Amino acid sequence: MKHDDTSNATHAPDPGLPMLTSAQAARLRALAAPYSQDGHHHSLHNLAHKCRHAPQDRWPDLVADHFAALRRASRGGESAEELLRGVHARLLPVESFTPELANAMRYARVVAEGLVYAYALDGPTSVRILTDEDVERAGLEELGQAAYENLMRVPVEHEEVSIEGRARLHSVYGDSPFTASKALFLSEVAQQLVGEPLPDAGALVAVPNRHLLAYHPIADGSVADAINGLAAYALRAHEDGPGALSPRVYWWYRGSLTSLTVIDHATRTFSLQPPPQLLGLMRGLVRLDRTGRLATRAAAKAPNIAELTNATAESIARLTQDPAGLGDAFTSALALAHAHCGTDPDAAHLTTWDAWATSVQLGTALFTGTQPQECHLGEDLVRQLPATPAEPPANARAWLDALYLAIVCRQKDRINRLCQVPLTTLRQDDGVDEYVLHWIDTLQTYFSGPSMDEVVKKLLATMETSVPGSLTHAPKDFVNRIDYQPVALFHRLITGDRNAFSQALAEALAEHGSYWGESAAPRARVALGPLAMASLAYDYGFPIDPKQPHLPTYLLNRERIEEIP
């Protein structure tokens, strides 16, 4: 059978109007040609989307209605008061911004790749894009304020959509052609819809057509799933139209939109290329989320201690065949130790101590290696930890966890061994901010015994690099309320200011409780870093009240501490 190249070309997507075939696009251009004899060039993208979903015998009427609306919308002549009353901020696709329009709208600006920011007048029967003459008549500043206020009053519908596992999108849609333009002021929109602004890291956002915007707040590790899910969502909605805006995924950050989508127009292929700053944020959030450090929806359900105990026992048992699983075994054991404190907040029971002791064993083994030893998980449940070589991973926060545990459980030998882990290895962790590495350097220096001047110097470096403007990986809220608190306590500890330490400890515990709220996550139960600093202070004779929230009493005062293999 002979291959029909002509037929294939006819049915291929049109290069200029890809929502139509080449044959359909040719017919539409022929129908529109008589209306373009006024010397103006008119974009056919929105009209093509309408025709795509209509029988071709209706196309002449659709074309006639479309150009009639354009004629009505182009009359102008409104008073300044009428302009201010009806003006709205409006996003337009760059491809619709013809040279003729650009000359008449010098006030408009490109706000992101593929998107132009302009003003539009919402009239009784049509929407008209404002020209420089309109802006001059009403005043640029006054028009901008009115455009913002009118846009924010546009009614919309809102729902949450699950995509790619546990990632969720906020879908914002409505009949108004200005709906998607609300992406310009996304944090205020989020405040209106869900009662809180966007996180400091911003959001992933798509504006596929003028009636829809979708966004995902960048707050936890689900951002890694959301970015691909949102890209597919945006492309489908953009192709469906009408009123197409952009098939791209953007990063809304501090009021600006940055395109993450790279389009190869020659091959019509799409790829996602987040900038380094966003990649750092995503990497940090995935790491934090994976180890249960973030207060998220996933932390709403209390863990089942029996299931967590069995999972930890199984992960230890597998180490004989798969030594690479030691990191996961440590994470599981630490979650179990924290979870026990949900039902045993004072750490009075032997099973709670066993979980803490096992965490110490696994954490130290992860970074310093170990000889074979038994790990007890309560009752008669004992697992053999095999001999492990000293191959420390580049995981800075896991090292801090291991050190905090050794401090709490008064394991001086393990503390010394952990402080011999090369800082150069931990510096290879590309998922943490610089202050974390300075904090590790401070603690290693402190426990290794050089002069206090060196400790103070390194502590100052930790403080200087933990300010919000220096953060590129961790959420500011998490850093301020959780991660930085041990640093503040250590500062009071080495200055010997006992009253200041007591006050700082109370603040740290309050911040811990406020951050986690009603979360049932294991890490919500114990403020591990503050507990480690309080344990040091207790041993130095500081007057520490052992009955404080998130501080297991019998770990703090050493009464539950027993020998660890």
One pLDDT digit (tens) per residue for the chain, 565 residues = 334 444 455 678 887 788 888 889 888 988 888 876 554 556 787 788 888 888 999 999 998 888 777 666 555 668 899 899 999 999 999 988 878 888 889 999 999 999 999 999 987 667 888 999 999 999 999 999 999 999 999 999 999 988 866 788 999 999 899 999 999 999 999 999 999 889 989 999 999 999 999 999 999 999 988 999 999 999 888 887 678 899 999 999 999 999 999 988 777 788 999 999 999 899 999 999 989 999 876 655 778 999 999 999 999 999 999 999 999 999 999 999 999 999 999 999 999 999 999 999 999 999 999 999 999 998 789 999 999 999 999 999 999 999 999 999 999 999 999 999 999 999 999 889 999 999 999 999 999 977 899 999 999 999 999 998 888 899 999 999 999 999 999 999 999 999 999 999 999 999 999 999 989 999 999 999 999 999 999 999 999 998 999 999 999 999 999 999 8
Are the C-beta atoms of residues 312 and 377 closer than 8 Å to each other?
yes
Q: Residue 212: beta bridge partners?
A: 173, 209
* Dist CA 398 CA 160 (whole Å): 34
CA–centroid distance for 238 within its chain: 24
What pLDDT is stored for residue 299 in this prediction?
A: 59
Closest by Cα among 296, 280, 178, 160 to 229: 160
What pLDDT is stored for residue 2 in this prediction?
A: 39
What pLDDT is stored for residue 3 in this prediction?
A: 41
What pLDDT is stored for residue 439 in this prediction?
A: 98
H or E, element range at 336: helix 326-343
Query: Cis bond leading into 303, ω under 30°?
Result: no
What pLDDT is stored for residue 125 in this prediction?
A: 64
Q: Is the dihedral of CA 324, 328, 331, 337 positive or negative?
A: negative
* Dist CA 227 CA 167 (whole Å): 9
What pLDDT is stored for residue 5 in this prediction?
A: 43
Q: Tell me the pTM.
A: 0.80
* Dist CA 324 CA 327 (whole Å): 7
What pLDDT is stored for residue 40 in this prediction?
A: 53
What pLDDT is stored for residue 9 in this prediction?
A: 56
* Dist CA 313 CA 335 (whole Å): 13
Q: At residue 125, what are phi and psi to the nearest 5 degrees? A: -125, -5
